[in-house]
Structure 1
């Protein structure tokens, strides 16, 4: 087995990384020639990589080809491997019975489910100062935070590519269904906010109760209303009155159950005393003699 010097290994890995991150076929073949030149002293290694990986499988991991399909950033099996590793770590061994294994798997899935819900809530509630720009007005609280991060990264590229599609290459539009730098530049020139129609619906799914194909304009509160009605029927009379009052404040914001006081009450300063009724002795701070 051939063992390369450390410096040679670094050169090979850098050339390999540049090869798989080629943004088009022309650059790929140019980087391939560089990779072949670096591996000239180890032709067996190069032949193996080229014949066993690049020729039959390059379309599956080289960006020049993977950037032609919409994958939403999921280009590796890392998620599957991570889930498998988490499961093995929780199981610890392979001698458990079916019931214990089932309970363990169920607990892991519930935990992952809760983490996803937490990420949804974070995208809806969390306010990021960086995204206070009018450009993101239609996106805040509607899209995944990860999607807005991608859009912000493209917005940073606007100063370099402007509306030039050749320079932009529009990769994020193809792979993620999000507006690319040249598209954002056109919105900035109008100026106007990025419309939701320019975002793939996959990024606006922030709940498990809404169909993935639904757009924010088609959202419904029917499920929530049904839950409130069911909750209302289970409450006692005081609870029903309280819940109904809260719903009235939402349905009729111009009305309120609060009333102003009958008489105006002064809330600042100590009450003034009537000087005519206060004797000099009462105002004195002299200590009374002890008997």
Structure 2
């Protein structure tokens, strides 16, 4: 019998096993109770408070995943995942991206452990997106990591969806366009829906400074730096000359006094 059927790593567990979860809850509960001699009423209030704290922590983590974007995930590779996937999943994906240079596109070297255990794109899949310059699609992420709300979802029958009416409206809109620009605009919008990586949107330009002196280019900037350096060097020389000049004047004054003193002493002797 194949032993992989009984191995935890061969099944999707999202980094959670039954033994690990039971031991963790048991340890946390003992920390909250603090003693083994407690009645049912006190025991119930302790468990209720523990569940409230865990509930608040989970809601706080969901809010962070929905509203906070860390600097490490500003790359275009995570463009479709920001705000839709938990921070834990983004961290796991970033760790796999760090291995992409060593693994490459070889599934054997990759092992695909994160795809099997946690339902996230593995290293060789991420390397394909990196080489193609396309972001990671949201469909590659398991629904476990996209659940960012405590409200249970209502089961919706997929057969209730009917897109024929909407498609007919799009076709009518396309045929009613008089000029070519309008038709190209409709085609571009449909293309962005069907293939998000082909969007025509670009990143905003850098903020233009409207105050102060404009910055120079690379060549002029280097020349300006060298010129500043030469100016500071030349400015330092007059200071050295001023000190030397002062020392010379002091030495001359002392020398003149030394020449005068012997004459006065000779006159006093006479």
TM-score, normalised to structure 2, is 0.53
Q: Pick one of 97, 109, 112 that aligns with 2:54.
A: 112
The aligned counterpart of 1:182 is 124
The aligned counterpart of 2:91 is 149
CA distance in 2, matches of 1:143, 1:107: 28
The answer to whether the aligner puts 1:205 opposite 2:147 as a matched pair is: yes
Contact 2:119 2:141 in 1 (8 A): yes
Contact 1:205 1:212 in 2 (8 A): no
Number of residue pairs aligned between Structure 1 and Structure 2: 156
CA distance in 1, matches of 2:154, 2:23: 25
Unmatched 5+ residue regions in structure 2?
157-270
Kindly report which structure 2 residues correspond to 1:48-87, keeping only aligned pairs within 5 A, or say none. Answer: 65-75=7-17, 77-87=19-29
CA distance in 2, matches of 1:94, 1:68: 39
In terms of Rg, which structure is larger? 2
Matched position secondary structure for 1:209: coil
The aligned counterpart of 2:34 is 92
Deviations 1:163-208 (A, max 9, x none): 1111111111111110011101111122211011111111000111
The answer to whether the aligner puts 1:171 opposite 2:113 as a matched pair is: yes
The aligned counterpart of 1:191 is 133
Contact 1:120 1:206 in 2 (8 A): yes
The answer to whether the aligner puts 1:124 opposite 2:66 as a matched pair is: yes
Q: Pick one of 78, 81, 92 that aligns with 1:136.
A: 78
Contact 1:202 1:213 in 2 (8 A): no
CA distance in 1, matches of 2:61, 2:122: 24
Unmatched 5+ residue regions in structure 1?
1-54, 215-291
Matched position secondary structure for 1:149: helix
Contact 1:202 1:212 in 2 (8 A): no
CA distance in 2, matches of 1:174, 1:198: 12
CA distance in 1, matches of 2:33, 2:39: 11
CA distance in 2, matches of 1:84, 1:212: 32
CA distance in 1, matches of 2:59, 2:103: 37
Higher relative contact order (CA 8 A, sep 6+): 2
Over 6 Å off, 4+ runs: none
